[in-house]
Amino acid sequence: MDRYSMIVALGGQVCGTVFLISLVWLWVSRRKSAALPRDMVQRIDLRLSEMQQSLDAVAIEVERISEGQRFTTKLLAERGISAADEVNSAREVVGRGPAR
């Protein structure tokens, strides 16, 4: 390897090392400054707990709706009426019009 090739190789290594060190330095300084203040963390925690309570309330309401649906289905099954019979009987009542 001649003298100029050695200078180019060493120059590339020095520049690459400086570049990597600066990247690591920027990454470390950004991680230190990215820490959230304590009051912001508390607000986020409060909002998350409110969302959890809302989600629990919605889950309870959905369970109540599904329980009502099961109860209605059970009653209809015990009476022996299918959904098609109900629709047909509703059409007959609407189609007759007022009694004279």
Percent of the chain's residues with pLDDT above 90: 51
Structure tokens, 51:
């969302």
Cα(24)–Cα(94) distance, integer angstroms:
78
Q: Is residue 62 over pLDDT 90?
A: yes
Structure tokens, 4:
């100029």
pLDDT band at 50 (very low <50, low <70, confident <90, very high): very high
pLDDT digits (tens, 9 = 90+) for 8-49: 999 999 999 999 999 999 988 887 776 677 888 899 999 999
- pLDDT of the residue at 52: 97
pLDDT band at 79 (very low <50, low <70, confident <90, very high): confident
Structure tokens, 87:
């629709």
